Amino acid sequence: MDNTTQVQKYLVTFCKALPAHVDCWRSALQDSVKPLQNLANLCEQQRAIQNVKLCNFGDYSDAQGVILHRIAIGIEEELLCIKKLVDKVNECNIDLKNKLLVFERSTLNLNWEENNELIRGNGSQPPLAKLLQYSLQFLNYFTKGAKDISDKLKVLNVKNVKSVKQLKNSFDVDLDYKIVKDLLALTQYVDNEKEIT
For 153-170, the pLDDT digits (tens) are 999 999 999 999 999 999
Nearest in space to 25 (alpha carbons), one of 185, 184, 157? 184
Helix (H, G, I), strand (E, B) or coil at 88: helix
**Can you give the pLDDT at residue 197?**
46
Helix (H, G, I), strand (E, B) or coil at 86: helix
Summarised one tens digit per residue, pLDDT across range 34-83 is: 999 999 999 999 999 888 776 666 677 778 889 999 999 999 999 999 99
> DSSP letters along 28-80, please?
HHHHHHHHHHHHHHHHHHHHHHHH---SS-TTHHHHHHHHHHHHHHHHHHHHH
Give the residue-averaged pLDDT of 136-143: 98
pTM of the model: 0.89
Give the residue-averaged pLDDT of 99-115: 90
Q: Is 170 exposed, middle or buried (0-12, 13-18, 19+ CB in 10 A)?
A: buried
Give the residue-averaged pLDDT of 72-98: 98
Summarised one tens digit per residue, pLDDT across range 60-74 is: 777 888 999 999 999
pLDDT band at 139; cut points 50, 70, 90 = very high
Helix (H, G, I), strand (E, B) or coil at 59: coil
